[in-house]
Amino acid sequence: MVIDGAWRALGPDLESLSGPGGAPLTRTVKLIVLPLIVRPALHPDFAVDFLAPEPAARLDALIRESGARLVATAQWFTLLKRTRRALGVVAGHPQDLYFQRCFELAAEHGEPAAGAGALARAVVEEVADADGGRTVDALKRYLADAAQQARLEGELAVAWEGRLSVPAADTAAAVALAGEVLEACGGAEGPRNSPSYMSMVEAGHGELLGRALWAHASGVWGRGDLPAHLGLTKRQLPPRPEVGRGASTATLPAPLDRTLFERLFVVLQSSARREELPTVPELVGREVGRSCAPLGLYDESLRVAVLLGGQLAVGLDPLGIEEPAPWHTAAHRAVNSRWRREASVLRARRMTVSPRPDPDGGVLDALAQDLRTPWTAYMRRLWVRLHGRDVRDAPLVDAASAWAVLDGVARSVMMDHRARVRSALRTLSASAAPTAVPEAAVVAEAAESRSA
C-alpha cells in the first residue's frame, strides 16, 4: 500500500512498469522495488505486512529517491521490448528477463541516449543466447555418435550391476517418520520444521525406499493394493535405463522407465536459468550414475522427499469421496481442503467430472479415473521436479523447503487436472466424434524442472 502510494506520486513516466490502473506491476514490485530498492534484508522493519507510520515514511522516501532511476528503467524497458519485437524474440516473459537488466542499465547509463539502440539489441541477444549451448539439440548431437552410445551403454550396464544389492529392510519406521514430518508441515500456522526430517535424511530412509523398489516390496504404504513405486515405473521393477536418442513430450514414459536422453530432455526443455546447468557432456556423464542410484536421484534429501511425497499422495482425495483416515496428517488435510475448494470452483465454472465411475464411461471418465489414483500423477510430477533439483545440485535443506516442493507439486497436479478437463470439454464441443483426451499433464511436465 505504501509502495503503491509512493509509486503513484512518482508520476506518469513509469507507465511501462505500471499496470493499467497506475499501480506498479506485480513483477515490478517483486523484481525491482523489493529486491533492489526496499531490500528488506537490510531494513528488517520493512519486512512486515503492515508498516508503522515511521518506517512507512522512510519506505516512501526510499522509493521517491529512486524516482529518476525508475523513470530511466521504464524507458529502457520500453526500448528493450521494442527491440525484442523487432528481433522477433518471443521466448520468455519480458518482465522476468529484462526488469533487473533495465534497472542496471538505468544505473549505468541513466536514460537511454545516443547508442542506446545498439546497447538494447546487445542485451536482448545476450539474454536470448544465455543458455550457452545447453540445449536439446546439443544433447541430441552429443548422443548421436554410435561410439558414444556404446560407451554410455557399457557404463550404464556396469553401474546397474554394481548397485548395492543389500536386501530391502523394513520401511515401516521410515513411513511412520514421514507421517510425523507431514503432520508438522501442513498446519494452520504454516510449516513447522520437524527434526524428524533431518533424521530421515541421516538414516538414509529415501535410499531405503529406492532399494525397496528394486526388491519389489509391497505393503510399503500400508495399503496392500498399492505398489511401492506408486507408478514411478510401469513395470514391476524399474528397468535398467537405456541411453536413448530421442524424446517426445507427449509420450514420455513413467519417470524410472525413461532413457538418459528423456531424463535430460525434460531438464533442458525448460528455458529458465539454463546457464546454471552443467555442460551437456557433464550432464550426461553424471546422469549415468544418477539413473542407477536409488529412485534415480543422487541426493538423499531429495530421495526423502520422494518418500514424503508418496506418503502424502496415498492419502489424497481429489474427488472428496473418502472418509479421512486416522493416519492422515495436517498436510493431507491442507491439500485435500484445497481440492474441495477447487471442486467448488469447477462446479461454478461448469467443468465437473462425475465423482463416481459412470456406467457409460464417457470421455471424461478417464480424467475421473486419474483422480481416483492421484498418486501416479503426483509422483510423476514430484520426481521430475526433484530430478531437476538434483541436476542443479539443489538439495532440500530442511522440512520447510521440502514442504514447499511437495505443496507446489500438489498445486500443479490440480492445475493439470483443470487444464485437462478444459481441453477435454473443448474437444467435445468442437468436434464431432469423441476423441482421446489430450495429455495436458505431460505437456505441462516440461515446465517442471523450471520451477524446481
Contacts with other proteins by CB under 8 A lie at: 1, 4, 19-21, 23, 25-27, 29-30, 49-50, 81, 85, 90-95, 187-189, 333-334, 337-338, 341, 344-345, 347-355, 358-365, 367-368, 411-412, 414-415, 418-419, 425-426, 428-434, 451
* In the complex, minimum distance from the CB of residue 376 to other proteins, in angstroms, rounded to a whole number: 19
Tell me the DSSP string of 140-176: HHHHH-HHHHHHHHHHHHHHHHTS--PPP---HHHHH
SS3 for 88? coil
Q: How far is the CB of 366 from other proteins (least distance, A)?
A: 8
Contact 27, 99 (CB under 8 A): yes
Residue 230, classified by CB atoms within 10 Å of its CB into exposed (0-12), middle (13-18) or buried (19+), is buried
Instruction: Output 85 or 235, the one with its CB closest to other proteins.
Output: 85
Q: How far is the CB of 346 from other proteins (least distance, A)?
A: 9
Query: Looking at beta carbons only, is 260 or 367 nearer to other proteins?
Result: 367
Facing residues of 24 across strands? 18
- Closest CB 52 distance from other proteins, rounded Å: 13
Nearest approach in angstroms of CB 190 to other proteins is 8
**Strand intervals (E) in 165-261:** none
E strand or H helix at 225: none
- In single-letter form, the type of residue at position 160 comes to W
- Identity of the residue, 207 or 416, whose beta carbon is nearer to other proteins in the bound complex: 416
Closest distance of CB 231 from other proteins, Å: 22
Lookup result for grid cell 524497458: 77
- Angle, vertex CA 331, rays to CA 419 and CA 225, nearest 5: 75
3-class state of residue 18 by DSSP: strand
Rounded Cα distance, 346 and 344, in Å: 5
d(CA 397, CA 409): 18
- Pick the closer one to other proteins by CB: 54 or 360: 360
Cβ-based nearer residue to other proteins, 300 or 416: 416
Shortest Å distance, C-beta 352 to other proteins: 4
- Provide the Cα torsion 40, 41, 43, 48; round to 10°: 50
Question: Whose Cβ is closer to other proteins: residue 84's or residue 211's?
Answer: 84
What is the smallest separation between the CB atom of 452 and other proteins, expressed in angstroms?
Answer: 13
Q: Which is nearer to other proteins, 223 or 341 (CB)?
A: 341
Comparing CB distances to other proteins, the nearer of 136 and 425 is: 425
Between the alpha carbon of residue 73 and those of residues 68, 181, 198, 370, the distances in Å are 9, 45, 44, 47
Would you state the torsion angle of the CA atoms of residues 246, 240, 396, 93, taken in this order, to the nearest 10 degrees?
10
